[in-house]
Copies of this chain bind each other. A is one copy, B any other.
């Protein structure tokens, strides 16, 4: 588990010199080791120090960077975006707030774009579901299928007539549209 020094002793004494193997870093960040190697391959993580055995040994800075990546992912940035963000982050003083904020706002606009797309879908779909009775009768005149087939939703909400509801307990087609 531990390298030259016992991990507990080290962590209590000083966190700064602690070097993690890939599995430990994975556990610490909640991602898989494959993901960490993938991030390295993609240039999101700088190649960490290696031991004589070839193992990767990660510094606390590496750990921080993984957290950076995960936080950026959590707010909607793609890995490609994050690569860009990291290039800003590593040399902050040679970039401006404007550059950073522009990226964030562009991403915000992207997110809002996708949200309104989904909102449009939701409205259309909920109109469809509202019009369908959802009963155990034949879908022959189902308003959902009809709307998809014919391109228009017949806004008349479905109301089986009492007679039909009484009689058509199963599989009877309901002809009034559903």
Quick check: B173 and A136 within 8 Å, CB to CB?
no
Number of A interface residues, CB 8 Å? 69
* A101 CB-CB contact with B under 8 Å: yes
Decide yes or no: A88 and B122 within 8 Å by CB, A64-B149, A129-B101, A132-B104 being known contacts.
no
* Per-residue contact bits, chain A 1-18, to B (CB 8 Å; 1 contact, 0 not): 000111101100000000
Quick check: B137 and A96 within 8 Å, CB to CB?
yes
A-B contact pairs, 6 of them (CB 8 A): A76-B122, A95-B138, A96-B171, A100-B134, A104-B132, A108-B125
A residues with a Cβ closer than 8 A to B are 4-7, 9-10, 64, 67-68, 71-72, 74-76, 85, 88-89, 92-102, 104-105, 107-108, 111-112, 114-115, 118-122, 124-126, 128-129, 132-140, 142, 144-145, 147-153, 171, 173-174, 178
